[in-house]
Structure 1
Amino acid sequence: MTCKDEYQDLFKTVMKEHLSVFEAQDVIELEQFMDLIVQADRIFCMGVGREGISTRGFAMRLMHLGKEVHWIWDDTTPGMHKGDLFIATNGSGKIGHIQYVTEQAKKSGATVAIVTGSANQVNREFADFVLFVPASVFNGTDSRAVKSIQPMGNLFEQHLYMLFDIIVIMLERRLKLSHEAMEARHRNVE
């Protein structure tokens, strides 16, 4: 197989995987997740590794939408309270320190939303809402998730970035914002 043939075979396979995940996404859950974002006074986000990178990009865009957003490990992050929304990305549902912070967020009175590819592993005692992204994850994939030829949690991590971007576009429309309004909130000191 030539490099060109292998490349084309791989990108077509990966694109089919993403299409399958998009088609399997529960849109009712998606809408409920967006409702939580719209209603929140403040939003706190957390994720680790590559799924954390996707979540950090989402936090940035939520700020561009005009929401007050904080990343859990930033030194300037304030305490959570009732009326706040905590969004934790926990692909496998089993990442210990995310579970700990989730428990603390719940105790603070914040609403807790978990985004995961393994909903059956999430501790529902501390989750007010679970958004199941049906993409295979590293270390604990839900049997309903789309399987992948890719290593570890690639499909979930990649898909999360695209799904979050689509959510932002839907929220932009729902909130009757423009690209220009979002751009006006972009950091201007770089």
Structure 2
Amino acid sequence: MKREKKLQNYTLKILNQLTHYAEQEDTADIALVVTEILHANHIFLAGAGRSGLAVRGFGNRLLHLGFSVSIVGEISSPHSQPGDLLIICSGSGETTSLKALAQKAAAAKVKIILFSTTKESTIAKLANHTLIIPGKTKTAQDKTTGFTQPMGSVFEQLSFLTFDGIVMNLMDQTGETSVSMFQRHADFE
């Protein structure tokens, strides 16, 4: 019979690891993202896989804040215009479908912000700004904190938290509250 290993509190290890990386985020980069969002005519959001889930959650909160937003690929997404903003979440910055999207956005004179682990990628070269989410991509091993989560978990988790931090900054800038945002929350669920 196989002997079971003692269970660990991985939640605490994950939180400690995320804290380590969150302390490395650049607040000047976050301020730039907040400014771009505040001045965008319309905001498109895109990501793939679990990064796509994180950016979709961000899009939902931007909608609650009163911004005009669309998730790329949804049938209700409008045609892009100069003055619009495309936010892409991609750890590697090399996801094939997102590279093609960034190329199309750049040609349409839509501003691009990339959330990524690197500024050295195809999408980063097309982006007007890249905000670095410290951590490792899904193919790299994390030896920095002495604890390695599977694949791109650190990037995806920290992206979600960074997006929520940006929402909090946008709330400060716009005077929005949970009460005012709730008025824009879906009532057909």
TM-score (normalizing by structure 2): 0.91
Counterparts of 1:157 and 1:61, CA distance in 2: 17
Counterparts of 1:146 and 1:93, CA distance in 2: 23
Contact 1:87–1:114 at 8 Å: present in 2 too? yes
Contact 1:118–1:137 at 8 Å: present in 2 too? no
Question: In the alignment, what sits opposite 1:110?
Answer: 110
Question: In the alignment, what sits opposite 1:171?
Answer: 170
1:81 deviates by 1.1
Contact 1:92–1:140 at 8 Å: present in 2 too? no
Question: In the alignment, what sits opposite 1:156?
Answer: 155
Query: Which ranges in structure 2 are unaligned for 5 or more consecutive residues?
Result: none
Residues 155 and 124 from structure 1, CA distance in 2 versus in 1: closer, same or farther, beyond 3 angstroms?
Answer: closer
Question: In the alignment, what sits opposite 1:63?
Answer: 63
The alignment yields a C-alpha RMSD, in angstroms, of 1.9
Residues 147 and 31 from structure 1, CA distance in 2 versus in 1: closer, same or farther, beyond 3 angstroms?
Answer: farther
Question: In the alignment, what sits opposite 1:53?
Answer: 53
Question: In the alignment, what sits opposite 2:38?
Answer: 38
1:96 deviates by 1.1
1:148 deviates by 5.0
Counterparts of 1:140 and 1:43, CA distance in 2: 31
Query: Taking every aligned residue pair, what percent have the same amino acid on both sides?
Result: 26
Question: In the alignment, what sits opposite 1:93?
Answer: 93
Counterparts of 1:35 and 1:105, CA distance in 2: 19
1:170 deviates by 1.3
Comparing 124-133 with 104-113, which one deviates more in the overlay? 124-133
1:2 deviates by 2.3
Contact 1:83–1:110 at 8 Å: present in 2 too? yes
Counterparts of 1:67 and 1:140, CA distance in 2: 36
Contact 2:119–2:125 at 8 Å: present in 1 too? no
Instruction: Please identify runs of 4+ aligned residues in structure 1 that moved more than 3 A.
Output: 122-125, 145-148
* 2:6 aligned residue (2, 8, 16): 2
- Which residue type is aligned with residue 2 of structure 1? K
- Work out the number of aligned pairs and report it: 184
- Which residue type is aligned with residue 119 of structure 2? A
1:63-92 alpha-carbon deviations (Å, 9 max, x no partner): 100000011110121111111000011111
1:124 deviates by 4.2
Question: In the alignment, what sits opposite 2:183?
Answer: 184
- Which residue type is aligned with residue 100 of structure 1? A
1:12 deviates by 2.5
1:23 deviates by 0.4
Question: In the alignment, what sits opposite 1:14?
Answer: 14
